[in-house]
Amino acid sequence: VILTVTLNAALDITYGLERVAWNSVNRVDAVDVRAGGKGVNVARVLHALDVDAVVTGLAGGATGAELRAELARAGLRDELVTIAGETRRTVVIAARNGSETTLFNEPGPQVSMEEWRAFEERFRNLVAGAEAVVLSGSLPPGVPLGAYASLGAAAGSPVVLDADGEALRLGLDARPAVVKPNADELGRATGLAVSNLEEIAAAADSVLEAGAQAAVVSLGAEGLLACTRDGHWRARPAQRVEGNATGAGDAATAALVLGLVRGQTWPERLLHAAALSAAAVASPVAGEFDRELYERLLEDVVVEAL
């Protein structure tokens, strides 16, 4: 079983409409409401691949209850810890007359020290039975900035870390098996320039020096770059996929943690991560992917050693 941690889970609301009239009144014609947050999306992708995944993290209030009801409907195992605060919402405005989307993210709920300790205890119990752990996403207010370092240290099993800023930088102390930043996140965590592939590789190497065992950098439509102690590889889809990039990184994370527990080689892991990530772009909602496209892209992605 793979344990996914989502400390700042969200109720993701997606509004579909033909076009948006800014500064006016819009009638939404399609509403999708689902449990979200990066770790939840990773678990959803793993579940779709018939891999046992457990969702833990923090959830509370009416929105937290709605999130948990949707997790149950989706058949995901819910080990979230209840908090007093209200789980945040995200609202995605998706106009069909263009590929652009506008996101509104609520701030996360305040977490008390007692709630954080209760989570740490739940995590220690769950991690004992896990083959690998995914630590994903932002930290809500009240959770220590070093949360991913302390959870990583408490995990006996290998950790995949997908975070930003200080949460990522401090998380390196726990020597995660894989970190999966995008180029901007890598730049923020290291303070280094990331304007071309060479700079990105150098910044990724500095993350390895700081403790990570491997860094896989997502490059958007340009694919993925893996910097590991065994070598550097790049994966690139042969075709560009149009769609909704939200959740593409989470699909890549799902493939990377799965490759880790299955003992795949780095080129195999990258192949699956790039194909699954592009297949997620083709799906309108985070946590889902186009299965047929995924199979097809497995033949098409080019992986090369650098």
Q: Where in the sequence numbering do the catalytic residues fall?
A: 250
**Residue closer to a second copy, measured from CB, 27 or 229:** 27
Sequential DSSP letters for 132-149: EEEEES---TTS-TTHHH
Pull the structure tokens for residue 223.
């694919």
- Compute the least distance from the CB of residue 100 to a second copy, in Å: 4
Minimum distance of a second copy from residue 183's CB (angstroms): 16
Tell the smallest beta-carbon distance from residue 23 to a second copy (Å).
4
How far apart, in whole angstroms, are the C-alpha atoms of residue 273 and residue 255? 5
**Nearby residues of 114 by Cβ (< 8 Å), 6 or more positions away:** none
263 exposure class (CB count in 10 Å sphere: 0-12, 13-18, 19+): exposed
Nearer to a second copy, 66 or 288 (CB): 66
Q: Which residues bind a second copy (CB under 8 A)?
A: 13, 15, 17, 20-29, 31, 62-63, 65-66, 69, 89, 91, 93, 98, 100-107
Vertex 130: Cα angle to 10 and 303 (nearest 5): 80
Q: Is 37 helix (H, G, I), strand (E, B) or coil?
A: coil
- Closest separation in Å from C-beta 41 to a second copy: 16
Closest CB to a second copy among residues 95, 298 = 95
Which residues have a Cβ under 8 Å from the Cβ of 120 and sit 6 or more positions away? 150, 151, 154
Q: Closest CB to a second copy among 100 and 242?
A: 100
**What is the full DSSP assignment across 49-103?**
TT--EEEEEEEEHHHHHHHHHHHHHHT-EEEEEEESSPPEEEEEEEETTSS-EEE
Identify the CA nearest to 183 among candidates 171, 198, 170. 198
Strand-pair partners of 194: none
